[in-house]
Chain A
């Protein structure tokens, strides 16, 4: 196993540019799972990001909250302004694993791990987050809701590092995050939902019901247009257009679809049939 220990961001970017197979290592909470028995993982080259101090802090400006490339869930949980203004970030962060994971897991790591069941991604997406990537050849910004092309496929080249996640500051008239898991902590989402409403419109983001975490445009249209919805079943056609849940080791497509319909229906009971 080879591990590179860059002391600065430019050094790290050089290393990533020189070796397309090198794997950036942030908090390790995904990459080290079952490490002793994943022998093939020991054969790779890793680029240790932990010394890149510039990537750690989160930053508030007048218009944005910018999470650093190494900002952890715990960093956000402790941030009083995040609790007040962007509470879904704190809700989601508190439901990631448990404190031991929250202390080490990073938002950027959650994005690039690209799990369809991720906890951080849905709320970031519902807040219109923008992923900022840097490489030796420059800086690129990709809205998170356009970041994923397919299962575990994302718009990140191997020489790029997520250095910032930019979240616009807005007044939200409604926001909710729901994680449905098999237990209340240390659970992988069977269904994840993040819903926001602001001057920029409705955002409905679903997790664990498709190969990627994604916006649900058909459901959003129902809300934008104020279509009356009288029951969870009335949402099923829109849900069928937006997502494609499967049966897997954790749950079934039928369950996921029904839960998504019921949770959306009940959470948004005050909003169906009313134009934004």
Chain B
């Protein structure tokens, strides 16, 4: 089925929050801290502004607790006298003229008496920089299996490596924004978001309003990638406070520069490996340390850390594993969810380390993976027995085959020997991604969906999971239609409006198709039973039964419902971090071919092959699109997306200076799927959305290493960094002669 809202998007008719008509509204804007840490000693309002024309909101206007509800109650809606990062919201202003409110924001001076800021998450904080617990550690986590110290002591070879990944800015093409207005006594907040119920809970909590007096509606969302998972709650609260104080609708849309500077980014990470192996490359011990920068508030850092450490040991069998994770407090703008959510960071390290190991031992990187890739019956780092029947070697072989890996190796050798200034190489990454919330997370979410039957015989899917480009509207339509034997035109998907749709959980964690799609299938079955049919009834019989039901129950609503049930056999212990971390893993092998120009040390990806096993591909165009989009984000993260910092805030907060790939910078991304239906995923599908961003960075760096002889361990691998590496290793300079 073609994307159902494609034509609306192609013609510009799809309306995003800033496109919606709104009468007599005020533009809202945020006044922010100029300092990374300190006490607000004064707020000075400039004399050149007629402040009586403005709505001004500060922390005293917050009816409930001054907290944006998330994991911990540590992040204020508005700073109340103390600030912990540059750009922290302090005041809100609103005015009918957008230009006037921009000027007014400039005219407010927030005076901060600075305290020593913690700026580098990689070094232990000085005593005066401690602001969280006794050591600025937001979260400690540990995974242990076997006896890693003894195994390392006895290992024939021990290879260590340290790897670093930089922050990444989402650059969703639609910046963040919200509209808040009162509809009678009900506060209605609409906007760009991934999780309407997260926003609802945040609004209820800080505004002390129960669910009958708050309503949240997701508007068509122009990209999210995790950047609109938790942050929209802040903007929703800000717009709401202004709307409540003024009695007028308020629209708050972030400019691109503001969005880049003040909202969340991917957690920077430092990962250390100490790996014990036999001489012929079998893993015997993996000792891994993962440290991430959480920034100035907890946000979702504990969960990002969790996923990072669970994936840190890679898709390999090893009896002795210890993974220690720390999320650090610093006075940086808080980091948050971004596609992959810790797994790209730890798997960059792990997969680059595999090639470092291969190089050190003199083993072919493919062979190293062949020896160690998990076979059915073996266990992961958390002790989860993998028994899904996926042939992980076949996934890798397919990638090698499609990329002509062996032939290219020979071609590259000849090319590199004769070309004066260019070097080519191919690099491999084998990796995995667990779909859905970790461990008991899905149980805690208690997701529910409904499928309504309407008098005309059509059905409507009611869930809180949203469309942000990944294809929710289309896949939900296909699943409901297929389950009931209906035509797609007979299926509507309800707007994600908390006054109408149940809480099916957030649109994150690659769970929407696999888990929520599965609930839709069961809710459709429930609907069918309620109209007196059994599970084999389809098509016209279903429609007619729904119509008849409504004739017999005039005026009553008809719903099928389903609530999340844990698949059998999943056991997870959150205290020991042992057991079945995820119901299903998707498995992948990616090959990147690069060309490095030794004159400029610029790396160009000239071919990319992405092979993955994802259970079942429900919609080939949408699935391929997810892979291609994730790969290009990964290419950007690996080679050109660099956050430059000043006082913990992004200094290069504009698209001229924070570079994402253009169409001219990337090759066609060649995609192949293997299928092995997952019995507990809708239609046999496993989650797919995040997997593709786990692989490109290590594949690319492995390719650059092969092409140049350099040994990069940090991303982004900018030309400047590669030049420094090659000069220090003296490999490039000679090659360029």
Q: Is the Cβ of B599 less than 8 Å from the Cβ of A183?
A: no
Q: Is the Cβ of B421 less than 8 Å from the Cβ of A249?
A: no
Task: State A37–B260 Cα separation when bound (angstroms).
Answer: 14
Query: Can you list, as one digit per residue, whether each of B639-683 has a CB less than 8 Å from chain A (1) or not (0)?
Result: 010001000000110101101011011000000000000000000
Q: Is A185 part of the binding interface, using a Cβ–Cβ cutoff of 8 Å?
A: yes
Q: Is A18 part of the binding interface, using a Cβ–Cβ cutoff of 8 Å?
A: no
Query: Can you list, as one digit per residue, whether each of A20-50 has a CB less than 8 Å from chain B (1) or not (0)?
Result: 0000000000000110110100100000000
Q: Is the Cβ of A36 less than 8 Å from the Cβ of B255?
A: yes
Contact pick for A184, options B420, B664, B720, CB 8 Å: B664
Chain A, residue nearest B722 (CB): A255
Contact A262-B598, Cβ < 8 Å, known A39-B99, A39-B103, A249-B651: yes
Q: Is the Cβ of A98 less than 8 Å from the Cβ of B662?
A: yes
Contacts of B599 in A (CB 8 A): 259, 262-263, 266
Contact A183-B421, Cβ < 8 Å, known A249-B657, A255-B720: no
Q: Is the Cβ of B106 less than 8 Å from the Cβ of A255?
A: no
Contact A39-B102, Cβ < 8 Å, known A184-B662, A249-B657, A255-B719: yes
Task: State A191–B99 Cα separation when bound (angstroms).
Answer: 37
Q: Is B540 part of the binding interface, using a Cβ–Cβ cutoff of 8 Å?
A: no
Chain A, residue nearest B420 (CB): A266
Contacts of B651 in A (CB 8 A): 249
Chain A, residue nearest B654 (CB): A34
CB within 8 Å of B: which A239-256 residues? 249-252, 254-255
Task: State A191–B602 Cα separation when bound (angstroms).
Answer: 13
Contacts of A249 in B (CB 8 A): 644, 651-652, 657
Q: Is A87 part of the binding interface, using a Cβ–Cβ cutoff of 8 Å?
A: no
Q: Is the Cβ of A250 less than 8 Å from the Cβ of B665?
A: no
Q: Is the interface of B mostly helix, strand, loop or mixed?
A: loop
Contacts of B255 in A (CB 8 A): 36-37
Q: Is the Cβ of B736 less than 8 Å from the Cβ of A186?
A: no
Q: How far is the CB of B32 from chain A (nearest CB, A)?
A: 14
Q: Is the Cβ of B720 less than 8 Å from the Cβ of A252?
A: yes
Contact A186-B720, Cβ < 8 Å, known A36-B102, A36-B255, A259-B600: no
Q: How far is the CB of B257 from chain A (nearest CB, A)?
A: 7
Q: Is A3 part of the binding interface, using a Cβ–Cβ cutoff of 8 Å?
A: no
Contacts of A263 in B (CB 8 A): 599-600
Task: State A182–B716 Cα separation when bound (angstroms).
Answer: 12
Task: State A182–B652 Cα separation when bound (angstroms).
Answer: 14
Contacts of A186 in B (CB 8 A): 662
Q: Is the Cβ of A188 less than 8 Å from the Cβ of B421?
A: no
Q: Is the Cβ of B656 less than 8 Å from the Cβ of A188?
A: yes
Task: State A34–B604 Cα separation when bound (angstroms).
Answer: 30
Contacts of B644 in A (CB 8 A): 249
Task: State A255–B421 Cα separation when bound (angstroms).
Answer: 17
Chain B residues at the A interface, C-beta cutoff of 8 Å? 98-99, 102-103, 106, 255, 257, 420-421, 598-602, 604, 640, 644, 651-652, 654, 656-657, 659, 661-662, 664-665, 718-720, 723-724, 727, 736-737
- Beyond A98-B662, A258-B727, 7 extra complex contacts between A and B, CB < 8 Å: A36-B98, A182-B718, A191-B600, A255-B720, A259-B600, A259-B723, A262-B421
Q: List 21 A-B contacts (CB under 8 A).
A: A34-B257, A39-B99, A39-B102, A182-B718, A182-B719, A184-B664, A185-B664, A186-B662, A188-B656, A191-B600, A254-B724, A255-B720, A255-B723, A258-B723, A259-B723, A262-B421, A262-B599, A262-B600, A263-B600, A266-B420, A266-B421
